[in-house]
Amino acid sequence: MTDAQVARSRLTIVGIVCMSLFATLFARLWYLQAIRTDEVVKSTRALHIRTLHSEGPRGRILDRNGKVIVDNEIVRVIGIDKQQARKRGLGDGDPRTPDTDEEVATRNAEFKELAGVLTEFGFPTKFTTIEDLFNDVRYGPNDFVAVIGRGVPEDLEIYLGERRDEYPGVEVRVRTVRTYPYGELAAHILGYVGRITDTELKAKVEEQGEPGAPRSAAAKPYGIEDEIGKSGIERSFEEYLRAVPGDERIQVNAKGQKIATLRRAELQPGDDVWLTIDLDLQRFAEQQLANWVRSRRGAIKGCDPRPCDAQEGSVVVIDPRNGDVLAMASYPTFDPSLLVNGISTDLWNQMTTGLKPMLNRATSEAYAPGSTFKLVTSLAALKTGFITPQTTIQDNGTYRIENCRDMRCTRSNAGKAKYGTVDLQKALTVSSDVFYYRIGDQLWVNNGTFGPSPIQDMANEFGFGQQSGIELPTESPGLIGTPKFLAAAYDKNPKAWDHREWTTGDNLNVSIGQGLVAVTPLQLSNAYATFANGGTRYVPNIATRVTRRIDLLNPSDGPENTQVVKTFLPKVAAKVDLSNLEHYLTMFRGLLGVTQRGNGTAEEAFNASPTEWPMAGKTGTAEVTKKSPATGTFEKVADTSIFVGWGPAELGTPATYAVSAIIPQAGFGADAAAPLAFSILRPASKGTLPPVGKPTVVLADAAAAPGEELDGTVAEPGQATTTLPDPNAPLDGTVGAPEGVTGPTGPPAPVNATGPTGGDQAVLPPQTSKVRR
């Protein structure tokens, strides 16, 4: 074959290949244009349509009488419009498509100058903070990146407005933020909001969808800059308080630059949540609690021989008729406005260490109940038939455990007080420990007849050892220890316990509310509310209804301008059988005698601050120890003061208030907690509660504050901080709380009481407490 023929053959082959390629290309084009035209058009348009997500104002939170406790306010914020910044040569800030060196240099120069200006105006800002925000890949090329959101003053707005050319893309806009008209009032109930974290966003996107792709027509999609409830009501009622966000649809070119607006955002405000709280009572309870905590320090009455050192406390007031929580105070408290959209590391440490101001001690901290637990022990003994209302013992101030062969076989009343002949009614009134030691001893010795845990079983009926079901997050279940619990805890960590098998000593401690017993103030109040109303244990209710305003321009919250979205009716958790009238009346009179008889433990305190009607209840005093950081040994500290009761305590008259008060390291129950409770209910019973003053608007941040900060979540305040035994770690007396949970001056550790040893007796683990009156 000649060279010419070879050349022609090669050209022929190349021609065939080219024709084949062109034929394939034309066939594909024909297929797309003629067969799948609609799909191609839809896909092309989607590539050039973007969604700009806007978050609407959250719903308000009101008290039961319509006082607005949490509202919204429009404030100025400073940020960067990425679209305008790009037009002015600052680049996209997207590391996936790197900007030019010139764009980066221009951007750095502007951001450094902006950081200096903001700092001079009182907003300390790092250049790197602005750069990091601008480069955050979660922001789209047309988004507004908020930098400062703490209420920008007018002079700063004017300054930047006059220098737009110097700061291209920097704008002052308005945003809706949370306001707290009454400051710290009810902070633990209300909770706070903050910027959504990646973990929260992932969960909410799965549930509600994301901007431009809601899960349903009623969904409320979440975006990366949205706020979310972090604790309290803000978290529990997020589904109602959150607004329906608005998504603006825009068309962009291949570079992501806006060309046109296809749809405007339509926002719908969140719904309003009405609480069961009476704000006047709440404010008064918080004030009285703070006053009593601060006053119980030093060598004062009820603190001898060890000085008091009260640093914290809690009060809970419940309506026994329906379970409504009327007041819930926890001290110390915090300012929720400081926690919106991220907090500094320093503030985080202040809030979560030491006394942990963010911890809601009413629901998330559990304490040894002391003699207030005798309500449970009494009913257990009556139910088993071990005692009757007529059963008596001779109380000589001490009790010797039967069949005990150890030197620690004797238990005593507080101060070894002698009460003589004691029946059930008198035992409750004077708080005879000896009477209850006898019950604890014999119920365990005869467990083949009475069962292994009659006291614990009765405690469970009253809601102890389990979450109450209140619509607040991070609630502690408390602890009601049983033989089974002790064995499991020992097997898991033998070094933390000195014995595995339940003993008579364990049962004696439980009988007077010590040892393996821990309750929350909410549980304690609800238990006595259950007894007061005749045996109906309600799920504590914190909200009455959710409403939606019909006319947003009409400020009225009356029925003519509100639509009821949801109503929360009383919910019965369980029924306690109190049908034996003789048993009930005996206990009723015994608890009434606590405040009304001359030998009652709280009679003096009640007479000093009497309510309009009689009150019944029980004092408790827990003698506690605390582990010394210097020696590693347990040292006695001041007692924990406890009181719980109800009123009116009149047969035939429904009780309207049940109150519990707990102040660690405050002395005897009759000297701190009881007078605190009476001081709160006295004006409530007379209808003379001082009204809360005119609210003062406290603005929250509208954007994450610059500088070193966390991600906006405050790690579930109260979570894992309840004082429950932790078999995985040595127990230092905080009823088993993980180390550091209660802080260096937090709730005092219950006493390292040592129960009888030998035979049926054994030394108790270090989380136990010896309880006095």
The mean pLDDT value for 133-146 works out to: 76
- Whole-number Cα distances in Å, 704 to 152, 205, 227, 672: 13, 22, 11, 42
Average pLDDT over residues 17-27: 67
Domain 279-535+576-768 is of which CATH architecture?
A: 3-Layer(aba) Sandwich (3.40)
What mean pLDDT do residues 179-200 have?
92
Q: What is the mean pLDDT of residues 236-261?
A: 71
Range 483-507 average pLDDT: 94
Distance CA 615, CA 522 (A): 19
As a dihedral over the C-alpha atoms of residue 39, residue 40, residue 43, residue 45, rounded to 10 degrees, the angle is -110
What's the DSSP call for residue 33?
I
pLDDT of res. 755: 31
- 3-class SS of residue 87: helix
Q: Which residue has the higher pLDDT, 533 or 304?
A: 533
Q: What is the Cα 515 distance to its own chain's centre? A: 26
**Residue 749 — pLDDT band, cuts 50, 70, 90?**
very low
Q: What is the pLDDT of residue 737?
A: 31
Strand, coil or helix: 431: coil
Ranges 42-46, 379-383, 622-626, 744-748, most confident: 379-383
pLDDT band at 353 (very low <50, low <70, confident <90, very high): confident
pLDDT of residue 343: 65
Distance of CA 91 to the CA centre of its chain: 43
- What whole-number distance in Å separates Cα of residue 341 and Cα of residue 367? 33
Alpha-carbon Rg for the chain in angstroms:
33
**Distance from chain centroid for Cα 700:** 19
Q: Give the chain's end-to-end CA distance (angstroms, integer).
A: 120
| Helix (H), strand (E) at residue 292 | helix 279-295
Contact 521, 512 (CB under 8 A): no
275 class by beta-carbon count within 10 Å (0-12 exposed, 13-18 middle, 19+ buried): buried
Q: Rounded to whole angstroms, how far apart are CA atoms 457 and 332?
A: 34
Decide: residue 204, CB within 10 A, 0-12 exposed, 13-18 middle, 19+ buried: buried
pLDDT band at 557 (very low <50, low <70, confident <90, very high): confident
Residue 425: which of 673, 645, 604, 616 has the closest Cα?
616
Among the residues of 187-274, which ranges form H helices? 187-190, 198-208, 232-236, 238-241
Burial of residue 39 (CB within 10 Å: 0-12, 13-18, 19+) is: exposed
- Asked if 322 and 541 touch (Cβ cutoff 8 Å), the reply is yes
Quick check: 637 and 280 in contact, CB under 8 A? no
pLDDT band at 264 (very low <50, low <70, confident <90, very high): low
pLDDT digits (tens, 9 = 90+) for 403-445: 887 657 899 998 899 999 999 999 999 999 999 999 999 999 9
Helix (H) or strand (E) holding 659: strand 657-663
For residue 91, pLDDT over 70 is answered with: yes
Return the percentage of the chain with pLDDT > 70, whole number.
78
Q: Return the structure tokens found at 506.
A: 């364990």
pLDDT at 741: 28
Instruction: Please give the pLDDT value at position 6.
Output: 58
Question: Average pLDDT of the chain?
Answer: 82
The strands making up 258-263's β-sheet, listed across from edge to edge, are 49-54, 246-252, 258-263
The secondary element (H helix, E strand) that includes residue 479 is strand 479-480
Q: Which two tokens stand for residue 589?
A: 């009179």
Range from 24-28, 186-190, 241-245, 278-282 carrying the lowest mean pLDDT = 24-28
- Least confident span in 215-229, 526-540, 678-692: 215-229
The residues spanned by each domain of the chain are 76-173, 279-535+576-768
Can you give the pLDDT at residue 433? 97
φ/ψ of residue 241, rounded to 5:
-70, -30
Q: Could you give the 3-state DSSP secondary structure of residue 294? A: helix
Check whether 492 has a pLDDT greater than 70. yes
| Averaged pLDDT for residues 109-117 | 88
Query: What's the CA gap between 210 and 245, in Å, rounded?
Result: 10
What's the Cα-to-Cα distance from 371 to each of 171, 619, 622, 643, 733, rounded to whole Å?
63, 6, 8, 9, 19
- Asked if the model's pLDDT at residue 509 lies above 90, the reply is yes
Q: What is the DSSP string of 308-332?
A: EE---EEEEEE-TTT-BEEEEEEES
pLDDT tops 60 at residue 514: yes
* Region 174-203 average pLDDT: 90
Span 131-140, mean pLDDT?
78
pLDDT at 133 > cutoff 60:
yes
Ranking 115-124, 226-235, 440-449 by mean pLDDT, the lowest is 115-124
CA separation for the pair 713, 81 (Å, rounded): 26
Burial of 544 (0-12, 13-18, 19+ CB in 10 A): buried
What pLDDT score was predicted for residue 623?
75
Residue 717 reports pLDDT greater than 60: no
Rounded distance between C-alpha atoms, residue 179 and residue 337, angstroms: 7
**54-68, 245-259, 663-677: which has the minimum mean pLDDT?**
245-259
What lies within 8 Å, CB to CB, of 57 at 6+ separation is 72, 176, 243, 267, 269, 270
Tell me the pTM. Answer: 0.79
pLDDT given for residue 355 in this prediction: 92
- On the question of pLDDT at 719 being above 90, the answer is no
Residue 753 or residue 178, greater confidence = 178
| pLDDT bucket at 734, cuts 50 / 70 / 90 | very low
Tell me the average pLDDT across 731-740: 30
Mean pLDDT of 283-295: 97
Tokens 């006394």 sit at which residue? 355
pLDDT tens-digit series, residues 576-630: 999 999 999 999 999 999 999 999 999 999 999 999 999 999 999 987 777 777 7
- Which tens digits make up the pLDDT trace of 624-667? 777 777 777 777 777 999 999 999 999 999 999 999 999 999 99
Average pLDDT over residues 223-233: 89
Rounded CA separation 270/226 (Å) = 14
Specify the range with the lowest mean pLDDT, choosing from 2-11, 312-321, 379-388, 606-615: 2-11
- Residues pairing with 622 in the sheet: 640, 771
**Residue 766, both tokens:** 């270090």
pLDDT at 579: 97
Listing DSSP states for 182-206 in one string gives TTTTTHHHH--EEEPPHHHHHHHHH
524 pLDDT tier (thresholds 50, 70, 90): very high
